[in-house]
Amino acid sequence: MKLATLKKGGRDGTLVVVSRDLSLALEVPRIAATLQAALDDWAHAAPLLAEQYRALNGGLAEGAFAFDPAQCASPLPRAYQWADGSAYLNHVELVRRARGAEVPATFYQDPLMYQGGSDAFIGPRDDIRAREAWGVDFEAEVAVITGDVAQGSPAPACAGAIRLVLLVNDVSLRALIPEELAKGFGFFQSKPASSFSPVAVTPDELGEAWQDNKLHLPLTVTLSCEPFGCPDAGVDMAFDFSQLIAHIAKTRDVAAGSIVGSGTVSNRQGGLNGAPVHKGGVGFACIAELRMLETIETGSPRTRFMHDGDTVRIEAFGADGQSVFGAIENRLSALP
């Protein structure tokens, strides 16, 4: 089934069931007022929501109305956890190669993750409010929303706790990153509010596109309507979502409603660390990677980060050509 959250009814918005083709929505206040409430009591809520989903797809849901992604908040407008991995090692390799450094061997055995802010996500169609000088970049990623996971759960048990799949724009302020990471405690100001796809989808809904705890679909990324990349999220993901969740759960319980990200989707494309779209490659899911490739090839980056008014669009299309999660569209509204 497909779920979304409308920007009405309070800080957590209003949960709606969305039809498979994203044309219709239905409020379900008798089942759960918010997505977090549904996740808190998933065993009870999920079958009831699935029933409404079937009715909606069959044209039998009373009270259904046209679904408008522009009215959506992120599926969880605020969450108790946003933990983002870096599972596509091509991204890491590019960063390191651009500055002439090696990737540590441990990166291939143990997931790299950071804890992100989760108290106030922007919506799928909201503006990014940041200064151009901060080096505003997007990162197109896949994420999952979990149920409860007990401390110490191994990866196979964690796979069973994957409730929903969605897309993310993990907004990154590149100019703030070097100084922040040099302080040794990880990202903070350099990772402002992320945004998520309008629709979150259960794994069963994805059919063959969900295998081995990975999403096997390309992410279509455009920057101000120009193609920027379409790397396949099922390719070159070194750690699947069950392994990322197990990484979190090693030393603590993980609570229902935790959002776990894949890191920037990035394909090696024959071991060359990728190629841009204008050279016939699948391109990239963030500007930084293209700039790193440019640095490796010519000694310096050419492509600029986002300017005021630039819009990034992130979407995934199923085998039937339909948008699976709806599109993230974030415009940079530059601060003075």
Residues in contact with its own copies by the rule CB under 8 A:
10-11, 40, 78-81, 83, 86, 104, 106-107, 112-120, 129-130, 134, 151-152, 173, 176, 179, 181-190, 192-193, 247-248, 250-255, 257-258, 335
Whose Cβ is closer to its own copies: residue 47's or residue 152's? 152
CB of residue 118 to its own copies, shortest distance in Å:
6
For its own copies, the closer of residues 82 and 228 by Cβ is 82
As measured in angstroms, the least distance from the Cβ of 65 to its own copies is 27
**80 vs 317, beta carbon nearer its own copies:** 80
Which residue type does 295 have?
A: T
Tell me, what amino acid is at 282? V
Nearest distance, CB of residue 67 and its own copies, angstroms: 26
Complex with its own copies: residue 29 or 178, whichever CB lies closer: 178
Cα dist from 285 to 15, 31, 108, 149, 170, whole Å: 29, 37, 21, 30, 10
CA-CA distance, 301 to 124, in Å (whole number)? 29
N-term to C-term CA, the chain: 42
Shortest reach from residue 56's CB to its own copies, in Å? 29
Rounded to whole angstroms, the Cα distance separating 260 from 81 reads: 8
To which H or E segment does residue 1 belong? none
DSSP state of 81: E
Comparison of 251 and 298: residue with beta carbon closer to its own copies: 251
CA contacts within 13 A on the Cβ side of 262: 35
**Who contacts 148 (Cβ-Cβ below 8 Å, separation ≥6)?**
161, 253, 254, 255, 256
CB 233 → its own copies: shortest distance, Å? 21
Closest approach of Cβ 294 to its own copies, in Å? Answer: 23
- Retrieve residue 199's tokens: 């629709």
Nearest to 330, CA basis, from 227, 226, 194: 194
Q: Is 125 exposed, middle or buried (0-12, 13-18, 19+ CB in 10 A)?
A: buried
Which of 104, 309 has the CB closer to its own copies? 104
d(CA 191, CA 28): 34
Nearer to its own copies, 137 or 315 (CB): 137
Closest CB 219 distance from its own copies, rounded Å? 22
